[in-house]
Amino acid sequence: MSGEVNLTEQNMEIIVKALDEYESQCGLPAASSPCPGDELNEYLSMDRHALEVLSAEDCGQISYRLGQSALYIQRSINREEARIVWSETSLQEIVNKDVNTFDKFVKYEVRVASIIAKSEPAAKLTEITSYAKQRVKRLTYIATSLKNLSDIMLANQRSKYYGQRQA
């Protein structure tokens, strides 16, 4: 059975590699965090005074870095959602093979739970799905929030730029 679990993990890695290659064919570079954590933390924790002393150029650069971070987080979410689709589809294939071996009066949910309890690959797929869903939950709305902050910084840049031109 442990060989089957290893095969499950290998299959997942094959799918991840194929999706990475697809992104590459679309012109996207390999996903990597664009900002060191301390740089992003600095932008996310700026107080009013720090914002007031920024130049228009600084605002534009920070906006770009926040936008890069938003894209990275969104790609991370997409990666986890693809993992969820793969693991749920693979689990469904395992369940479909054995679901009809039960008495017709046994509820479908009970059948699935029983199959998962008896099958190490099914249990591993359930674990992968659960972990990926937790990661998506943690990242949900962060990409959008970073993009919103990027837009705010861009508006701040425009305000500073036009304020300097009128002065």
Average pLDDT over residues 151-162: 92
Contact residues for 24 (Cβ-Cβ < 8 A; gap 6+): 30
The count of structural domains within the chain is 1
Q: What is the mean pLDDT of the chain?
A: 89
Among 20-34, 105-119, 129-143, the minimum mean pLDDT is found in 20-34
Long-range contact set of residues 14-22: C-beta below 8 Å, sequence gap at least 24: 15/82, 15/86, 16/79, 16/82, 16/83, 19/79, 19/82
Measured on CA atoms in the order 126, 128, 134, 139, is the torsion positive or negative?
negative
Instruction: State the pLDDT at residue 16.
Output: 84
Question: What DSSP string describes 31-80?
Answer: P--SS-HHHHHHHHT--HHHHHT--HHHHHHHHHHHHHHHHHHHHHHHHH
With beta carbons less than 8 A apart as the criterion, state whether 129 and 90 touch. no
CA distances to 30, 36, 37, 66 from 41, rounded to whole Å, are 23, 9, 6, 11
Is residue 167 very low, low, confident or very high in pLDDT (cuts 50, 70, 90)? low
Residue range(s) defining the domain that contains residue 107: 2-166
Higher pLDDT, 152 or 98: 152
Length of the chain: 167
pTM of the model: 0.82
When pLDDT is averaged across residues 137-142 and rounded to a whole number, the result is 94
Q: Is the dihedral of CA 15, 18, 22, 28 positive or negative?
A: positive
pLDDT at 1 over 50: no
pLDDT for 5 beyond 60? no
Look at 31 and 143; give whichever has higher pLDDT.
143
- Report whether 77 contacts 140 (CB < 8 A): yes
Which percentage of the chain shows pLDDT scores above 70?
A: 94
